[in-house]
A and B are shown apart, each in its own frame.
Chain A
Amino acid sequence: MERIGLAPGGKTGEVLAQDIAQRFPQGVAVAKSTNNRLYAKVDRSVLVSLCTYMRDALDFEHVTCVGGVDWLEQGKMQVVYHITSYANKVTAELVVDLPRDKPEVDSITFLWGGANWHERETWDMFGIVFVGHPKLERLLNPAGTEVFPFRKDFVTGRRV
C-alpha cells in the first residue's frame, strides 16, 4: 500500500511489527499493526531490551505517554507506553501486564528522558513502582500523601 507522507527510508507499522516479532519471538505479542500504528503486549522481562532495540535500530525517538490501568477484578495492573517514531511516522502502543500485589516494572527513563515525569506520575497515582527511576517521588499529590488515588479500590471522599 502506498504510504502518504512517508519519510524517505521510513517503514510502515506492518514492517516494524514483523521486525519486532522476528527479533523477539518470546515475550512480545504483536496484537495489531496498521499503517502508522503498532499494538503489542510485552512481557515485563523483555521490556527494556525491546525498548533499547526500538530506540537504537528502529528510530523510535520519543515517548509520548506512559500511563497505568487498574484491573481490579482480574487482579492485575497495566502500564501503557506510547512510543513514537518521527522517522517512520509510527506510534507503538506497548502494554505490560503486572500482578496487582507486586506492581513493579523496569524504568525506561534512561532510554528516553521524556518518560521521567510520566513514570513518576503513574507511580504517584497508581503505585506502580518503576525500578531504576532516578526520582520516584510525589508529583501531583503533595509530599506525604499515603494513598494512590487512581486505584479502583481507593474510596473517594473529602480528605482535605
Chain B
Amino acid sequence: MDLRLAPQAVAMSSAEFLSWSGEVIDQLMRYSGAKKAVDKLTAPIWSWAIRNATVPLHFGIACCALEMAAASGPRFDAERLGMIYRSSPRQCEVLLVNGWVTAKLRPDLRRLYEQMAEPRWVVAMGECAISGGPWYDSHNTIQGVDTFIPVDVYIPGCPPRPEAMIDGFMKLHKKINKEMKGTFLND
C-alpha cells in the first residue's frame, strides 16, 4: 500500500487491515510483556491438557502394532493416560511408528507427518523403526525413521512390551511438560 498515491484518504482492503492489525497487536503484546505473561499463565494449563490427550495416530505397520493393541486392551488400559487412537492425522498429536518402513511406505508416512497439526511428536517404537533392526541389510527397508522424520522418543525392544510403550509415553509426557508451550506456540 503506497500512501503517497492517496494522501487524502487512507484506504485499506480487508485483507490489508487484518494483516496490519494483527501485526500491531502482536508487537504490542510482545513489547508490553503481555505475551510473555499470557504464555506463562496458560503454559501449565495447555501442557496438562496436551499430556492428558497424547492421541496417537492409529497406524499399525508391523508386529509392534500388536503390542500397541495389547496396551490399549483392558489389562494395560493405556486410555487412562490419554492414549486414544484416532484414524485421521488431523486429530492426532503423536505419530507412533511401530514397525519397518519400506521405501514404498516412506513418502506416505512423511505425508501423514506433515498432515498432523502442531504441536506434534513422533515416537519410534521397536528396533525396525529405530534403526532397521533385523532388516539391517535389506534392499527395501529404511534404516530408521529418523532419517526422514524428527523423532522425539525411542522405545527399544523387539517388540517392546506394552509396559515399555507406556513408559515411552511417560517419557514423552516429561518432554511435553518441560517444553511448556503456551498459547503462542512459538517462542
Contacts and interface: CB of A to CB of B under 8 A. Distances in A.
Contacts of A8: none
A149 B139 CA distance: 7
A15 interface: no
Contacts, number: 31
B98 interface: no
B142 interface: yes
B interface: dominant SS: loop
Question: What bracket does the count of chain A residues touching chain B fall in?
Answer: 10 to 19
B104 A156 contact: no
A142 interface: yes
Contact of B104 (A142, A147, A159): A142
A interface: dominant SS: loop
Interface in A7-53: none
A158 B106 CA distance: 15
Interface string A124-160: 0000000000000000111000010100001011111
A158 B144 CA distance: 12
A156 B141 contact: no
B41 interface: no
Contact of A156 (B103, B132, B139, B143): B139
Rank and list the top 8 A-B pairs by shortest CB-CB distance, nearest first: A160-B103, A142-B104, A156-B137, A149-B139, A159-B139, A157-B137, A142-B103, A160-B142
